[in-house]
């Protein structure tokens, strides 16, 4: 049994009979304080909650169909597990977003071992990416799938970091445009060309691939320039989808984000990945599995489940007892917003009467001032 210490003087207490309710009474011999000690089981209950959340067990298989479990763990759904601030620079980080509904996306950043940060937004945009990235030290290399607004955010938040577009996502993007079985010779050659992109391992191979791509453009230039007049009398490209695939590749070559993983300065210091399989296979797939195991959660609880998983896989998560004390809850966040709203209402009411008060009128810096006129 845990030792009970006196809350007044901190000395050890000894047993001193029991109360009428049957609880153990404790006595401090030093200051003669009598008290009862209640064991705090919140840490154990939180561990039970996390074991269920990260596992496959259904509440229907629990004793009482999970009623006791829900009663004891309901309070943990009020906690928001917030990300830490990462001050140590990483060699390479991976960024991606996972959509939990049409208007709920969690952006995630990780390295080879841990989740470094996460941010909730309605959709991927530059402001959301910046909010995620500004709490993490700038890495040397970033791998992403090219989400909306990411390039803009990268220039602003991590201007010195090298950007690598995930090669597999590049292949999938071109595949969406021209399909895996193109009906034209140009489409078939482009599909084989972009498929070879996944096999490039050296700088020389990348140069050969670029030459092949340029030769493909020259070979089918007239084919790509063909125009069709639609029902409204307007002309538009005949092979629009192939053109989109071509332009997507040209953009990456222009931005120099297609072969960053072959940079000799980076390769000499650490392993440079060409894909973001680490976050897709190691994090997003496990998050989706967790949500499938607990189908039926509301969107808010789905978000909090992702937060819990990310925090417990962060570099140095706090002990469970500290998490309960430190992490914000629904009530604490609500009180903060209420105080902010009250302050805004007060400032608006004061603005009705002009400046309300001038600080210099009551705090005159002139030492010769004797009094009011």
The whole-angstrom separation of Cα 133 and Cα 152 is 12
Please indicate, yes or no, whether residues 34 and 102 belong to a single structural domain of this protein.
no
The whole-angstrom separation of Cα 161 and Cα 144 is 12
- pLDDT tens for each residue of the chain, 373 residues long: 567 888 888 888 898 888 888 888 888 988 888 888 777 788 999 999 999 999 999 888 888 888 999 999 999 999 999 999 999 999 999 999 999 988 899 999 999 999 999 999 999 999 999 999 999 999 999 999 888 899 999 999 999 999 999 999 999 999 999 999 999 999 999 999 999 999 999 999 999 999 999 999 999 999 999 999 888 888 888 899 999 999 999 999 999 999 999 999 999 999 999 999 889 888 999 999 999 999 989 999 999 999 999 999 999 999 999 999 999 988 888 887 788 777 777 666 554 444 445 545 555 555 554 544 4
Please indicate, yes or no, whether residues 121 and 261 belong to a single structural domain of this protein.
yes
Q: Report the DSSP pairing between strands 162-165 and 34-36.
A: unpaired
- Domain assignment present for residue 79? The answer is no
Q: Cα 345 vs. chain centroid, distance in angstroms?
A: 33
Residue 28 sits in which domain range?
1-39
CATH number where 25 lies: 2.20.25
- Domain assignment present for residue 139? The answer is yes
**Residue whose pair of structure tokens reads 């169909």 in the numeric block:** 65
Count of domains forming the chain: 2
Which ranges of 197-235 would DSSP assign to H, the alpha helix?
203-219, 221-224
* Residue 369 confidence (pLDDT): 47
- Domain assignment present for residue 372? The answer is no
Q: How many CB atoms lie within 10 A of CB 71?
A: 10
**Of 280, 295, 326, which residue constitutes the final position of a domain?**
280
**Of 246, 280, 314, which residue constitutes the final position of a domain?**
280
Cβ(275)–Cβ(168) under 8 Å?
A: yes
Please indicate, yes or no, whether residues 146 and 262 belong to a single structural domain of this protein.
yes
Q: What is the per-residue pLDDT across 284-295, written as a single tens digit (0 to 9) for each?
A: 999 999 999 999
The whole-angstrom separation of Cα 237 and Cα 240 is 5
**DSSP structure string for 303-359:** HHHHHHHHHHTSSSPPPHHHHHHHS-BHHHHHHHHHHHHHHHHHHHHHHHTTTS--H
Please indicate, yes or no, whether residues 128 and 254 belong to a single structural domain of this protein.
yes
Instruction: Determine if residue 319 is left, alpha or beta; phi over 0 gives left, psi from -120 to 50 gives alpha, anything else beta.
Output: beta
Q: What is the pTM of this model?
A: 0.80
| DSSP secondary structure letter of residue 12 | B
Which ranges of the chain would DSSP assign to H, the alpha helix?
42-54, 67-73, 126-133, 150-157, 167-178, 185-196, 203-219, 221-224, 240-255, 264-267, 277-279, 285-293, 299-312, 320-326, 330-352, 359-362
Please indicate, yes or no, whether residues 33 and 114 belong to a single structural domain of this protein.
no
- Domain assignment present for residue 337? The answer is no
- Domain assignment present for residue 311? The answer is no
Q: What is the per-residue pLDDT across 127-157, written as a single tens digit (0 to 9) for each?
A: 999 999 999 999 999 999 888 899 999 999 9
**Of 280, 304, 336, which residue constitutes the final position of a domain?**
280
């Amino acid at each position: 049994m845990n030792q009970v210490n006196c809350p007044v003087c901190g000395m050890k207490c000894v047993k001193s009979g029991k109360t009428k309710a049957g609880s153990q009474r404790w006595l401090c011999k030093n200051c003669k304080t009598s008290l009862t000690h209640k064991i705090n089981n919140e840490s154990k209950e939180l561990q039970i909650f996390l074991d269920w959340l990260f596992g496959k067990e259904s509440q229907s298989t629990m004793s009482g169909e999970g009623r006791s479990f829900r009663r004891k763990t309901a309070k943990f759904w009020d906690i928001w597990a917030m990300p830490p601030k990462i001050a140590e620079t990483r060699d390479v980080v991976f960024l991606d977003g996972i959509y939990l509904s049409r208007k709920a996306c969690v952006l995630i950043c990780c390295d080879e071992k841990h989740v470094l940060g996460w941010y909730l937004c309605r959709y991927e945009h530059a402001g959301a990416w910046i909010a995620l990235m500004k709490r993490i030290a700038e890495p040397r290399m970033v791998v992403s799938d090219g989400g909306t607004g990411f390039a803009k955010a990268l220039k602003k938040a991590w201007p010195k970091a090298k950007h690598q577009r995930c090669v597999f996502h590049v292949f999938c993007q071109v595949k969406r445009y021209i399909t895996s079985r193109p009906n034209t010779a140009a489409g078939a050659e482009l599909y084989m060309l972009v498929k070879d992109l996944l096999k490039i391992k050296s700088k020389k191979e990348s140069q050969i691939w670029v030459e092949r791509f340029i030769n493909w453009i020259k070979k089918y230039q007239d084919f790509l320039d063909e125009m069709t007049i639609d029902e409204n009398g307007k002309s538009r490209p005949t092979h629009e989808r192939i053109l989109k695939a071509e332009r997507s590749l040209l953009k990456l070559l222009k931005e120099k984000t297609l072969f960053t993983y072959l940079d000799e300065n980076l390769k000499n210091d650490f392993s440079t990945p060409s894909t973001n399989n680490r976050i897709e296979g190691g994090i997003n797939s496990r998050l989706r599995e967790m949500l499938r195991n607990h189908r039926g959660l509301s969107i808010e609880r789905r978000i909090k489940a992702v937060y819990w998983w990310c925090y417990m896989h962060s570099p140095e998560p706090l002990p469970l007892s500290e998490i309960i004390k430190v992490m914000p809850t629904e009530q604490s966040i609500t009180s903060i917003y209420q105080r902010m709203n009250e302050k805004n209402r007060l400032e608006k009411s004061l603005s009705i009467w002009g400046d309300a008060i001038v600080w210099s009128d009551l705090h005159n810096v002139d030492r010769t001032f004797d009094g009011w006129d």
